[in-house]
A and B are shown apart, each in its own frame.
Chain A
Amino acid sequence: MQALAIVIQQAEDAKAANAAIGAGFAYGLAAIGPGIGIGIVVGKAIEAMARQPEAAGMVRTTMFLGIAFTEALALIGFVVFILLGL
């Protein structure tokens, strides 16, 4: 009886550990793509603003839009991270 309780406890610990590892990987992997993507978006926007300062306002608006769409993926990863971490 005692042994069975220990085994069940160990199984539950292993489950919690796997959930924690999965949550960490979920967020880490979800951050890679958007990180690269936001870098490209902002870099190109700065390039455009430097070449044509008079269009800076329009470029900035579009840049924020691009960031918002790219960032959504990372944020969904963050939500999954929290759901798994619970």
Chain B
Amino acid sequence: MLGLEFPPINEVIRWQDVFPSFNKVALIGCLAALIGMTIFVLAGRKDPMVAPTGVRNLAETGVEFIEDQIVLQTIGREGLAWTPFLLTLFIFVYLCNLPGIIPILQMPATARMAIPLFLAVIVWFTYNAVGLRRNGVSYLTGIVWPKTVPVGMRPLVGLIEFMSNILLRPFSLAVRLFANMLAGHMLLVTFALLADAMFRAQTKELILRPMGILPFFMLIFLTVFEVLVGLLQAYIFTILTAVYIGLAWHPEH
């Protein structure tokens, strides 16, 4: 029998500290921020009058994607001022997800709770601030005593709305990103370990060792799948932020 030694979870998602309290996840987070800034600073320096080339093409595609697919669909034309914020979120989350499939790095920075939780707290402050600024106190009363439902239902709906607005939204936003990336990372780890254990198995059944190619193919397939998941999770995080801002902006919808 071949035994598969699965390391404890803390070993899979923890890395040796490069310096005290600065490990690989922090390094990836800093790199993601730096690379994102570099791309857009370089793109912003180019002459806007000539046809875009190279890095400016990339930046313009990102801006157009955020404007057409996210802002116009959820907040509306008057929300276009939110494009920079949403673009920053999208690029940062995507660049934090991407190292999960890059060899050597092999760790999505969002698979630790710290980054998704902090981003969710920022989003929570943002949409509540937008609601208070646009609608004043009626934003809060609209949550706990919604005018659009019958009077008898108002306490119940108000309670649900209050819980959803104050607690569940940031929680689910953070947990969704974190759990998706962690699940992807654990899948990759499992199949990599399985392939490794089967290739080097100490058994008399010789057929077992070449069969290690099967988990290896699965590993390649899952790596391609993770590219898609990283992009999709960044998109979902951004579009939910936009939806929350839009809901705080126009509470009547």
Chain A residues near B (Cβ < 8 Å): 57-58, 61, 64-65, 67-69, 71-72, 75-76, 78-79, 82, 85-86
B239 touches A61 (CB 8 A): yes
A65 touches B175 (CB 8 A): no
CB-defined contacts of B57 to chain A, threshold 8 Å: none
Known: A58-B73, A61-B74, A64-B236. A79 touches B175 (CB 8 A): yes
B239 touches A75 (CB 8 A): no
A72 touches B176 (CB 8 A): yes
Known: A58-B73, A65-B243. A75 touches B236 (CB 8 A): no
Q: Which 5 A-B pairs have the closest CB atoms?
A: A75-B179, A72-B172, A61-B73, A68-B236, A78-B179
B175 touches A64 (CB 8 A): no
Closest chain B CB from A56 CB (angstroms): 12
Known: A72-B172, A82-B9. A64 touches B235 (CB 8 A): yes
CB-defined contacts of A61 to chain B, threshold 8 Å: 69, 73-74, 239
CB-defined contacts of B172 to chain A, threshold 8 Å: 69, 72
User: Taking CB as reference atom, which chain B residue is nearest A78?
Assistant: B179
B9 touches A75 (CB 8 A): no
CB-defined contacts of B73 to chain A, threshold 8 Å: 57-58, 61
Chain B residues near A (Cβ < 8 Å): 8-9, 69, 73-74, 172, 175-176, 178-180, 182-183, 232, 235-236, 239-240, 243
Known: A57-B73, A68-B176. A78 touches B183 (CB 8 A): yes
Closest chain A CB from B253 CB (angstroms): 13
CA distance A41 to B243 in the complex (A): 18
Known: A72-B176, A75-B175. A64 touches B239 (CB 8 A): yes
CB-defined contacts of A82 to chain B, threshold 8 Å: 9, 182
CA distance A67 to B183 in the complex (A): 17
CB-defined contacts of A72 to chain B, threshold 8 Å: 172, 175-176
CB-defined contacts of A65 to chain B, threshold 8 Å: 239-240, 243
Known: A61-B239, A64-B235, A78-B183. A85 touches B69 (CB 8 A): no
Known: A64-B235, A75-B179, A76-B175. A86 touches B9 (CB 8 A): yes
A79 touches B69 (CB 8 A): no
CB-defined contacts of B180 to chain A, threshold 8 Å: 75
CA distance A75 to B183 in the complex (A): 9
A79 touches B9 (CB 8 A): no
User: Taking CB as reference atom, which chain A residue is nearest B113?
Assistant: A79
B175 touches A85 (CB 8 A): no
